[in-house]
A and B are shown apart, each in its own frame.
Chain A
Amino acid sequence: MGKIPPSFRPAISNSLIKRQPLESPTAIPHQFPEKTTKKRPSQHSKTAQASLGSRKAEPLFKSPDLSSAKKVFNSIVVTTKAPIDLRFHNTLLQSYASVSTVNDSISFLHHMVKAHPSFSPDRSTYHILLSQSCKAPDSSLSPVRQTLNLMVTNGLKPNQVTTDVAIRSLCEAGRIDHAVELVKELSLKHSPPDNFTFNFLVKNLCKCRTLSTVYGFIDDMKSSFGIKPDLVTYTILIDNVCNSKNLREAMRLVGVLNESGFKPDCFVYNTIMKGYCMLSKGSEIIEVYKKMKEEGVEPDLVTYNTLIFGLSKSGRVKEARKYLDIMVESGHFPDAVTYTSLMNGMCREGNALGAVLLLEEMERKGCSPNSCTYNTLLHGLCKGRLMEKGMELYRAMKSAGMMLEKASYATLVRALCREGRVAEAYEVFDYAVESKSLTDVAAYSTLEVTLKWLKKAREQGLAV
Chain B
Amino acid sequence: MLPQRLKKAITDNPKKLANLIDLVNLPSTVREFVGQSQISRLGCFMRVWSYIKQNNLQDPNNKNIVNCDEKLRSILLGKPRVELAELPALIKLHFPKEPK
Contact = CB atoms under 8 A, between A and B. Distances in A.
Contacts of B20: 441, 444-445
A348 interface: no
Interface in B38-67: 42, 45-46, 49, 58, 63-64
Interface of B: 1-2, 6-7, 9-11, 16-17, 20-21, 42, 45-46, 49, 58, 63-64, 83-89
26 contacts: A417-B85, A420-B64, A421-B64, A422-B64, A422-B83, A423-B58, A423-B63, A424-B63, A426-B49, A440-B42, A441-B11, A441-B17, A441-B20, A441-B42, A444-B88, A447-B88, A448-B88, A449-B6, A449-B9, A450-B2, A451-B85, A452-B88, A452-B89, A454-B85, A455-B85, A455-B86
A449 B20 CA distance: 13
Interface in A411-433: 414, 417, 420-424, 426
Contacts of A448: 10, 88
A176 interface: no
Interface in A317-359: none
B10 A449 contact: yes
Chain A interface residue count: which class?
A: 20 to 34
Closest 7 CB pairs of A and B: A423-B63, A445-B10, A448-B88, A422-B64, A422-B84, A422-B85, A423-B64
Q: Is the interface of B mostly helix, strand, loop or mixed?
A: helix
Nearest to A383: B1
A454 B89 CA distance: 12
Q: Is the interface of A mostly helix, strand, loop or mixed?
A: helix
Contacts of B89: 451-452, 455
Task: Output the residue of B2, B63, B64 with the most chain A CB within 10 A.
Answer: B2
Given A422-B83, A423-B63, A445 B2 contact: no
A348 to B, nearest CB: 14
Interface of A: 410, 414, 417, 420-424, 426, 440-442, 444-445, 447-455
Contacts, number: 57
B7 A410 contact: yes
B11 A442 contact: yes
Nearest to B84: A422
Nearest to B7: A410
B64 to A, nearest CB: 5
Given A450-B2, A451-B89, A453-B6, 17 more contacts: A414-B1, A417-B85, A422-B83, A422-B84, A423-B58, A426-B84, A440-B42, A441-B11, A441-B42, A444-B20, A445-B11, A445-B16, A449-B2, A449-B9, A451-B87, A452-B88, A455-B86
Contacts of A426: 49, 84
Contacts of A440: 42, 46
A453 B85 CA distance: 10
Given A414-B1, A423-B64, A441-B20, A451 B42 contact: no
Contacts of B63: 423-424
